[in-house]
Amino acid sequence: MPERKPVTLHRLQDMHKSGEKIAMLTCYDAAFASVLDEAGVDILLVGDSLGTVLQAEATTTPVRLDAMEYHTRCVARGNKTAWLLGDLPFGSYHASPEQAWHSSLALMQAGAHMVKLECGAWTAPTVRFLTERGVPVCAHLGFTPQTVSALGGYKVQGRGEAAAQVKAQAQAMVEAGAQMLLFEMIPADLGREITAWSPVPVIGIGAGVGCSGQVLVLHDMLDITPGRRPRFVKNFMQGASSVQDAVRRYVAEVKAGTFPDESLHAF
């Protein structure tokens, strides 16, 4: 098998335009970074989900920037070719665009190629401030875990009349310079519609198969997360011979457009 070339933002944009699916998984350490990279995962997300997965917090809200910087550095050391995306945690970009810049600088210097922040109408100036200064931004829309309390719990976003607001937010983020969108827990038809319109890649988690690509929390798809998993998660360890095999199966199903299927997305 030929050696994989490093995944770049231009490559991801070309994949979106051509319809080639993008496979993303969360990753928090060097060992898993190497496994995921060798299995062909396109994007490694150092997610603030490490708060619930690694730190046993009830939500992602307590995660600090120094923890994100540490885990980003670990993943960067184990990764060779995948695109590396780092989460800006709660409170690290809310005060001002300047605060977001300093937080992004910490993750970029730790090895991230792009930062992700949970967005709404109020974040457009921040996204513009970052992208004008050379920081690639992924805008997280739909259900935003950092504000789960304000949203009233883990609820699907963008149903019915609320779809117009989600679409308007996506357009505002693209106009502000976001080079990638990530939608969580929105109706599949809305995910498909936005992806067809969007000039940038659209990654879905609980957003239907019509997105440019998919992301899952690594520990969820390996079935090692305690408690109940979200219904859009599939256990890829079932029937797999190893962790590496499970990750390769995930990549293959995302690329083939068979994950997620309708039984895993009933929003």
Q: Indicate the pairing of strand 202-205 with strand 180-184.
A: parallel
- The per-residue b/e assignment along 21-59, b for 16 or more CB within 10 angstroms, e otherwise, is bbbbbbbbebebbbbbbbbbbbbbbbbbbbbbbeeeeee
| CATH top class, domain 9-265 | alpha beta
pTM score, two decimals? Answer: 0.95
Catalytic (active site) residue 38: no
Which residues does the annotation place in the binding site for Mg(2+)?
Answer: 48, 87, 118
Which residues does the annotation place in the binding site?
Answer: 48-49, 87, 116, 118
**pLDDT per residue rounded down to tens, the chain (267 residues):** 578 999 999 999 999 999 999 999 999 999 999 999 999 999 999 999 999 999 999 999 999 999 999 999 999 999 999 999 999 999 999 999 999 999 999 999 999 999 999 999 899 999 999 999 999 999 999 999 887 666 555 678 889 989 999 999 999 999 999 999 999 999 999 999 999 999 999 999 999 999 999 999 999 999 998 877 888 999 999 999 999 999 999 999 999 999 998 765 545
Considering 3, 57, 161, 184, which one is annotated as catalytic?
184
